[in-house]
Amino acid sequence: MSIVLKPFSWQRMIEAVEAVRERALRATAALRRANIPYAVAGGNAVAAWVARVDRAAVRNTQDVDILVRRSDFDAVKIALEAVGFTHHELMGVDCFIDGPDGSPRNAVHLLYAGEKVRPHYATPSAEVTEIEHAEEYDVLTLEALVRMKLNSFRDKDRTHLRDFISIGLVDATWIPKLLPEHAERLRQLIDDPDG
């Protein structure tokens, strides 16, 4: 497979960010209209929190993670398909691809409230009641988001946690409030921010 390099383009970079924003807003608006409880999670939730402190520290993300109740899945499917998304299950994850030319890389991915994403995780995902209301969408509380990031602790999760630490949203005062496993992970990041 050969890679075709397109010209450098600010416009292409801006369009990539705008496409994620449009997808997230279309999905969350559909869920709101259908009165389905949800929360924006993952990298977009991190970006929303980081932007409240320092927009220069915001990282872009290509997909949209939304936390819902599994019992609401049928209603979620109806709501998202009504606004152009198509349901797929990929590697055990329910996702909604955006239109016929969409890709799983930039789909809407569902996380299920109160369930473990992986069996070995210390705690389940947050609940849809752990939210902050924003003008255009509902987002996980900082506490719930940090807990989920400490739970999964993949490279991108550690990066997101470092972003929170670097702007002062998370610090050592959080450690006593956490499960021992999560507390140790956070201490590692605080003690060695460059990893």
Looking at residue 167, the DSSP 8-state letter turns out to be T
37-191 CATH, one of 3.30.460, 3.30.110, 3.40.50, 3.30.70: 3.30.460
Average pLDDT, the chain: 95
Rounded to an integer, the average pLDDT of 64-71 is 98
What φ, ψ does residue 35 adopt, rounded to 5°? 55, 40
Using CA atoms, how far apart are residues 183 and 48, in angstroms rounded to an integer?
Answer: 24
Look at 192 and 31; give whichever has higher pLDDT. 31
Rounded to an integer, the average pLDDT of 99-126 is: 92
Segment 123-140, tens digit of pLDDT: 999 999 999 998 899 999
Closest alpha carbon to 113 in 183, 166, 40: 40
Taking the CA atoms of residue 166, residue 168, residue 174 and residue 179 in that order, the dihedral angle to the nearest 10 degrees is -40
Q: What local confidence, expressed as pLDDT, does residue 50 receive? A: 97
Write out pLDDT tens, residues 171-187: 999 999 999 999 999 99
Residue 121 in contact with residue 181, Cβ under 8 Å?
no
Q: Tokens for 118?
A: 């992986």
How far are the Cα atoms of 20, 32, 99, 157, 182 from residue 138, in angstroms, in the given order? 16, 9, 24, 20, 25
pTM of the model: 0.93
Decide: 30 and 83 in contact? Cβ < 8 Å: yes
134 vs 10: CA distance, rounded Å? 29
Asked whether residue 195 carries a pLDDT value surpassing 80, the answer given is no
Helices (H), 34-154: 42-51, 73-81, 142-152
